[in-house]
């Protein structure tokens, strides 16, 4: 087993990474929870594979457990889903002494974490991420929230889990589209902070080869995020580095109604386009966008997209959380493994 401590004082927690962990959840939960009642939030796709495995193991260990599966997809990460989840929690008579488990990908983790942070003004929760994207990124760091029609993650909070339990074996049931989706975030970590990871990814040729290294890859990404989050928990400085490719990526996702591109695909396009823009403005060396393009193609990820309404993209960017007053913090890659925050305005994208 690989283990990391995210050291945030009283909000500290451990990340456990181990193949087969999904079948051993109760013992790991008892390390941080001594109550009786647990509510599992999942989605209908994940539920088919792992919902009953987790539910039944918890019941067999003596917990009182209820499970609720939302519809899969980004469309569920909205205010429209919240009332139905809150109603289920009320029916279950969940109290502040009880526990919520988010069992799923980024949507389930973000939505379920937001539910945990707001129901009864805060209920403890544990993340069990089941997608590559959530295992390497979204389950760590305490960012929870929902989307608005005008943009992603515009309503949310910082609410740290009590533990993150990662089983790389669950990725074997992951659809190819969502495997590629997660690789978008993995590549991001190589770009921003780890040239060795970037080079490793460039040396692997198949999903099977990636899976041979998957525990180390997940550990590396989580450790990079751990270091950054410990220094900047509330995303006011260095943590913005983690959003390389996201400013444009989120805008593209929204432009296409959150249905054309997954989050990782949006980030992939955003990483390439922001680097191309940075090159054109003389901020970075010319070859970097080609390096990013090549690795995206290697993993079957898009790097360009037709944008008929550029003004709509710029309007979405203007609402981005990295806006500070009239200034916009853009993340640029000065070299592979070294990203920086660049202070500019939305005119950067015109």
| Residue 309 phi, psi dihedral angles, 5° rounding | -120, 85
Buried b (16+ CB within 10 A) or exposed e, 83-97: eebeebbeebebeee
Residue 144 marked as a ligand binder? no
254, 319 contact by CB (below 8 A) = no
d(CA 117, CA 124): 8
Residue 67 marked as a ligand binder? no
* CA angle, residues 274, 276, 282, in degrees to nearest 5: 100
Residue 141 marked as a ligand binder? no
Pick left, alpha or beta for residue 59 (phi over 0 → left; psi -120 to 50 → alpha; otherwise beta). alpha
Residue 343 marked as a ligand binder? no
Listed in order, strand segments (DSSP E) in the chain are 2-6, 13-17, 37-43, 64-70, 99-104, 124-129, 143-148, 151-158, 163-166, 323-324, 327-335, 338-344
Instruction: For the beta carbon of residue 62, count every other beta carbon within 10 angstroms.
Output: 10
Residue 250 marked as a ligand binder? no
d(CA 108, CA 114): 10
Residue 110 marked as a ligand binder? yes
d(CA 292, CA 276): 10
Is residue 189 classed as helix, strand or coil in its secondary structure? helix
Residue 337 marked as a ligand binder? no
144, 110 contact by CB (below 8 A) = yes
Residue 173 marked as a ligand binder? no
- Environment class of 59 (CB within 10 Å of its CB; exposed 0-12, middle 13-18, buried 19+): middle
Q: Which residues are annotated as a binding site?
A: 106-110, 130-131, 143, 152, 185, 246, 263
Q: Which residues are annotated as a binding site for NAD(+)?
A: 106-110, 130-131, 143, 152
Q: Which residues are annotated as a binding site for Zn(2+)?
A: 185, 246, 263
């Amino acid at each position: 087993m690989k283990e990391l401590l995210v050291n945030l004082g009283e909000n500290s927690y451990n990340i456990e990474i181990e193949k087969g962990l999904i079948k051993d959840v109760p013992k790991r939960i008892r390390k941080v929870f001594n109550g009786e009642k647990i509510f599992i939030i999942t989605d209908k796709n994940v539920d088919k594979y792992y919902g009953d495995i987790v539910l039944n193991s918890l019941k067999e260990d003596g917990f009182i457990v209820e499970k609720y599966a939302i519809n899969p997809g980004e469309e569920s990460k909205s205010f429209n889903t919240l009332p139905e989840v809150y109603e289920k929690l009320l029916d279950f008579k969940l109290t502040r002494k009880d526990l919520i488990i988010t069992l799923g990908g980024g949507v389930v983790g973000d939505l379920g974490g937001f539910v945990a942070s707001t129901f009864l003004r805060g209920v403890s929760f544990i993340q069990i991420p089941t997608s590559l994207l959530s295992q390497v990124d979204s389950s760590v760091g305490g960012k929870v929230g929902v989307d608005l029609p005008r943009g992603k993650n515009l309503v949310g909070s910082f609410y740290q889990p009590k533990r993150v339990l990662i089983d790389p074996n669950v990725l074997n049931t992951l659809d190819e589209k969502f495997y590629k989706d997660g690789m978008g975030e993995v590549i991001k970590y190589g770009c921003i902070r780890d040239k060795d990871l970037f080079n490793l990814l460039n040396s692997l040729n198949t999903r099977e080869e990636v899976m041979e290294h998957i525990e180390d890859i997940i550990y590396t990404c989580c450790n990079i995020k751990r270091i950054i989050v410990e220094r900047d928990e509330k995303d006011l400085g260095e943590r913005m580095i983690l959003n390389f490719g996201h400013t444009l990526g989120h805008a593209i996702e929204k432009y296409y109604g959150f249905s054309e591109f997954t989050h990782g695909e949006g980030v992939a396009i955003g990483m390439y386009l922001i680097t191309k823009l940075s090159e054109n403005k003389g901020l970075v060396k010319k070859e970097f966008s080609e390096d990013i393009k090549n690795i995206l193609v290697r993993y079957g990820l898009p790097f360009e997209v037709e944008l008929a309404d550029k003004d709509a993209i710029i309007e979405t960017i203007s609402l981005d959380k990295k806006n500070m007053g009239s200034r916009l913090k853009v993340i640029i890659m000065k070299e592979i493994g070294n990203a920086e925050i660049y202070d500019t305005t939305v005119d950067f994208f015109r």
